[in-house]
Amino acid sequence: MPHSPTLDIVGIGNAIVDVIAHAEEDFLITHGISKGTMTLIEEDRAHLLYGAMGPAVEYSGGSVANSMAGAAALGARTAYIGKVRDDQLGGIFGHDIRSAGVGFNCLPANGGSTTARCFILVTPDAHRTMCTYLGACRQLGPDDVDTTLVASAKVTYLEGYLWDDPGAKAAFRVAMDAARAAGRKVSLTLSDPFCVDRHRADFLRMVEEDVDILFANEDEIISLYQTEDFDEALDRVRHHCEIAALTRSEKGSVVVSGDEAHSVDAEPVDRVVDTTGAGDLYAAGFLWAYTQGGDLRACARAGGIAAAEIISQVGARSDADLAALVTSRLAVNPTV
């Protein structure tokens, strides 16, 4: 019989430093970048793009890493597995995630490609478009997964992006198997509609067989089921995994679990500054509430509040006192 969990969430993902700059729509067109998506780029193109873009600010990022930092800020006991190099950016990534209160003991690579960077171009409408140079993330492998750590967490949270590299995919499988063997929950974010497109068959099988809690936005869930209709996608996913939390930007989110369904409005936002991290922080709030025993509506609301906060600032790691914010808003209106 497994021990009772000592961690709430362990997250596994691509460990990335974000390089955030403002850009006009024309810049995306000139460089052939598809707005609102994440494109993988090689080193040459990374240099070219960086040379062409405006002044930037560096934040630690990575989708699952952002979620773990957010969940830790809310009070969840979290750990993170992801690969950086032993370079300056790797040192920055390690410092930021540890100082956010997330356990991080994955050894950095001491050779090969440099720490991953994601160039995030924020257009005047506050939308973000990402170009990722995976670098050292490609060195993540099954040996990096501490299965004892995974077995000790209520939820293992994985990102679809890991599927883009064979080693990371193998690490993903090892973690998922270890979580299931220990009777823990497996959670997946579909990451990006193009990522879903690249790995649809595998993702469909996982959603049906292995995933307990699925996170996806409208574009991603529509891509998964190759339908034009959100409601149809919703109908299909609700019987495939225990819980599916589907985010719909300003329309809020829908959470389904078998015959149960909850539609939750988006939290009000004074001014949307940068949508980077909206999905990551939704998952952070949701999984925090879930591991604290919250019902599905409370999970969705906590996710929505955390997401609303992160899009009111630049970057995907919150400056604000997320715990105070989420707790007070949930308390004021717990039934909405």
Interface stretch with a second copy, choices 158-166, 234-242, 281-289, 310-318 (CB under 8 A): 310-318
Q: Does 319 bind a second copy (CB under 8 A)?
A: yes
Residues 123 and 20: their CA atoms lie apart, in Å, by 11
Residues 129 and 33: their CA atoms lie apart, in Å, by 8
Interface stretch with a second copy, choices 52-60, 161-169, 261-269, 297-305 (CB under 8 A): 52-60
Tell me the CA distances in angstroms from 154 to 10, 27, 104, 160, 224, one per residue in order: 8, 43, 17, 20, 26
Let me know if 130 is exposed, middle or buried by CB neighbors in 10 A (0-12, 13-18, 19+).
buried
In angstroms, give the least distance from the CB of 69 to a second copy.
7
Q: Does 55 bind a second copy (CB under 8 A)?
A: yes
Residues 20-49 close enough to bind a second copy by CB under 8 A: 22
Nearer CB in complex with a second copy: 266/323: 323
Pairing of β 153-159 and β 128-133:
unpaired
In sequence order, which residues have a C-beta less than 8 Å from that of residue 329 and are 6 or more positions away? 267, 301, 305
Residues 233 and 214: their CA atoms lie apart, in Å, by 13
Q: Does 99 bind a second copy (CB under 8 A)?
A: yes
Nearer CB in complex with a second copy: 122/256: 122
Q: In this chain, which of 9, 16, 53, 178 binds a second copy, going by CB under 8 A?
A: 53
Residues 59-88 close enough to bind a second copy by CB under 8 A: 59-60, 69, 87-88
Which residues contact a second copy (rule: CB under 8 A)?
22, 50-51, 53-60, 69, 87-89, 92, 95-97, 99-100, 114-115, 314-315, 317, 319
